[in-house]
Amino acid sequence: MEPPSSRIECLNQSGITIPLHQIGIAVESAFRMHGREDATACLLLTQDEEIQDLNRRFRSVDSPTDVLTFPSGEHNFLGDVAISVSYAARQAAARGVTLDQELAFLAIHGALHLLGFDDETEPERAEMVDQMNRVAISLGLTPDLEWASILHAEAL
């Protein structure tokens, strides 16, 4: 695995020790795979309370979620990704995967959103999952062809 550059700034406010290096590589790999080696982004690892606040303020949804993205509209700085580590831990347990794998998939998912991919319709979701798995496989992660965010009610 190629070491990440300083192009991905990771801020861990989750209170849990997280392998930030691996998450940064996941984001950079998604960017590189889509021809954006020059791209930069910020990644926030937090807990349910903070992500719920962000979700409420920016999406008017008053509940926690797994990942939020905030595209910048700029050329090189693509934007911010916020991940709830506690939400990711529940999803990892439900899927039977490690927290590290779930965080990598969420980071890739967020990076793809910053690159312009969406998952609002079934064809878009299928393309997003395909792209996530292409990046994951390139990193040596186990693919998950059925990956999807777990609904809030199921994750609690």
Domain with residue 122: its CATH number is: 3.40.390.30
In a domain, 2, yes or no: no
Q: Is residue 3 classed exposed, middle or buried when 0-12, 13-18 and 19+ CB atoms within 10 A define those classes?
A: exposed
Residue 108's domain comprises 8-150
pTM: 0.91
Structure tokens at 52: 């719920």
In a domain, 110, yes or no: yes
pLDDT 10s digit of each residue in the chain, 156 long? 444 455 899 999 999 999 898 999 999 999 999 999 999 999 999 999 999 999 999 999 999 999 999 999 998 999 999 999 999 999 999 989 999 999 999 999 999 999 999 998 999 999 999 999 999 999 999 998 888 887 544 544
User: How many independent structural domains does the chain possess?
Assistant: 1
In a domain, 1, yes or no: no
In a domain, 74, yes or no: yes
Give the per-residue pLDDT at 149. Answer: 82
In a domain, 3, yes or no: no
